[in-house]
């Protein structure tokens, strides 16, 4: 397992990490979707919300609507997600998160930290997302260059970003280190309570990913009518059209007048299209310094 110190955003404090490690589930079902940033985290958050909302409807007949994904699935390493006492010990989650979790009878989080920072409870369900790294790097550049500097945003050029990304000098460290913290060398999850989901599989077979995720949560698979009901709300276009429900509240955003949206295109291969020759050379050098697990080498291409 990776034992390197992980670079994190300014919104994460030492007490935040302690709160994560010591978290004790307050609902019968607790699920954490983890990833290196821009690997389909928000997309999977949306899948998880729809599944736990469906489970609630099956169990009680109560329908729960999404107001904002951050209420139901808070960013685990955002210090503002937690309530702390005078001794800096976390006493629980902020009221909006606790209330949202009570509505669906499940606790959901998203995170970008290493596996060794996760709660020790083996009953917590973990989902680890992976995505082709050129697309990850490209999307993370667009993301951080529109995030406020005081919250860890990036103010350098694209070329500088690719160099810093390859050197593991940006928030959350290197892509290879992150994957190695969560995955064995054959690409399988280190934790027995974890499944790995590839972004590309969500693009190719969203129905199949939804069913596999439901099984991981201990739910019966979705019937035809149930699947047809939720699929329209899981599409990238739906998320873009309803960006007010999906743009994270954990950081501030900078409007540069260039039409940036937190949910962009969700395309496969855009990273390679936007890379220049210099970007590609620097990008590949990063895998010599921080190689991913052997079972993930196909993602590099």
pLDDT at residue 249, as a whole number:
75
CATH code for the domain of 39: 3.40.50.300
In a domain? residue 266: no
Is the per-residue pLDDT at 99 higher than 70?
Answer: yes
In a domain? residue 81: yes
Task: Report which of residues 146 and 113 the model is more confident about.
Answer: 113
pLDDT-derived band at 103 (thresholds 50, 70, 90) equals: very high
Q: CA 72 to CA 70: how far, in whole Å?
A: 6
pLDDT at residue 72, as a whole number:
97
In a domain? residue 234: yes
pLDDT at residue 175, as a whole number:
96
Is the per-residue pLDDT at 261 higher than 80?
Answer: no
pLDDT at residue 271, as a whole number:
60
Average pLDDT over residues 189-196: 97
Question: What backbone phi and psi angles, to 5 degrees, belong to 147?
Answer: -100, 140
Is the per-residue pLDDT at 143 higher than 90?
Answer: no
CB 107 within 8 A of CB 29: yes
DSSP 28: S
Q: CA 47 to CA 42: how far, in whole Å?
A: 9
Question: What backbone phi and psi angles, to 5 degrees, belong to 10?
Answer: -60, -15
Torsion of Cα atoms, 73 then 79 then 82 then 85, to 10°: 180
Per-residue HEC secondary structure of 111-168 comes to ECCCHHHCCCCCCCEEEEEECCHHHHHHHHHHHHCCECHHHCCCCCCHHHHHHHHHCC
Is the per-residue pLDDT at 2 higher than 60?
Answer: no
In a domain? residue 228: yes
In a domain? residue 262: no
DSSP run (H or E) holding 199: helix 199-204
In a domain? residue 161: no
pLDDT at residue 125, as a whole number:
97
Task: List, in order, residues 6 or more apart from 265 with CB less than 8 Å away.
Answer: 236
pLDDT at residue 275, as a whole number:
73
pLDDT at residue 1, as a whole number:
55
| Mean pLDDT, the chain, whole residue set | 91
CB 52 within 8 A of CB 108: yes
pLDDT-derived band at 163 (thresholds 50, 70, 90) equals: very high
What's the structural domain count of the chain?
Answer: 1
pLDDT at residue 31, as a whole number:
98
pLDDT at residue 258, as a whole number:
64
Q: CA 181 to CA 184: how far, in whole Å?
A: 8
In a domain? residue 48: yes
In a domain? residue 271: no
Token representation of residue 216: 């991981």
Task: List, in order, residues 6 or more apart from 268 with CB less than 8 Å away.
Answer: 132, 135, 199, 200, 203
pLDDT-derived band at 160 (thresholds 50, 70, 90) equals: very high
Q: Mean pLDDT lowest for which of 84-93, 179-188, 196-205, 216-225?
A: 84-93
Of all residues in the chain, what percent carry a pLDDT higher than 70? 93
Tell me which residue range forms the domain holding 92.
14-131+171-253
Q: Mean pLDDT lowest for which of 30-44, 50-64, 243-257?
A: 243-257
Instruction: Note the pLDDT tens digit of each residue in 208-252.
Output: 999 999 999 999 999 999 999 999 999 988 998 998 999 877 778
pLDDT-derived band at 268 (thresholds 50, 70, 90) equals: low
pLDDT at residue 86, as a whole number:
85
């Amino acid at each position: 397992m990776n034992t390197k110190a992980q670079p994190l955003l300014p919104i994460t404090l030492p007490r935040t990490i302690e709160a994560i490690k010591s978290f004790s589930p307050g609902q019968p079902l607790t699920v954490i979707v983890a990833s290196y940033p821009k690997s389909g985290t928000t997309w999977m958050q949306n899948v998880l919300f729809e599944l736990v909302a469906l489970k609630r409807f099956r169990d009680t007949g109560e329908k729960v609507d999404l107001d904002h994904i951050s209420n139901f699935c808070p960013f685990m390493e955002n210090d503002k997600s937690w309530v702390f006492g005078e001794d800096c010990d976390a006493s629980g989650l902020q009221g909006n998160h606790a209330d949202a979790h009570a509505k669906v009878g499940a606790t959901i989080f998203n995170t970008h930290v290493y596996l060794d920072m996760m709660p020790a409870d083996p009953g917590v369900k973990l989902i680890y997302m992976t995505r082709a790294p050129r697309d990850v790097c490209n999307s993370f550049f667009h993301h951080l260059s529109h995030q406020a500097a005081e919250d860890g945003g990036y103010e350098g050029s694209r070329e500088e970003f690719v160099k810093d990304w390859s050197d593991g000098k940006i928030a959350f460290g290197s892509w290879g280190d992150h994957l190695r913290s969560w995955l064995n060398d054959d690409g399988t999850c280190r934790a027995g309570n974890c499944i790995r989901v590839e972004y590309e599989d969500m693009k190719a077979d969203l129905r199949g990913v939804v069913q596999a995720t439901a099984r991981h949560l201990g739910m019966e698979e979705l019937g035809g009518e149930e699947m047809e009901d939720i699929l329209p709300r899981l599409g990238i276009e739906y998320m873009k059209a309803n960006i007010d429900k999906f743009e994270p509240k954990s950081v501030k955003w900078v409007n540069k007048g260039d039409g940036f949206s937190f949910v962009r295109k969700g395309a496969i291969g855009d990273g390679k299209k936007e890379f220049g020759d210099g970007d590609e050379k620097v990008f590949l050098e990063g895998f010599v310094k921080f190689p991913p697990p052997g079972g993930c080498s196909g993602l590099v291409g």
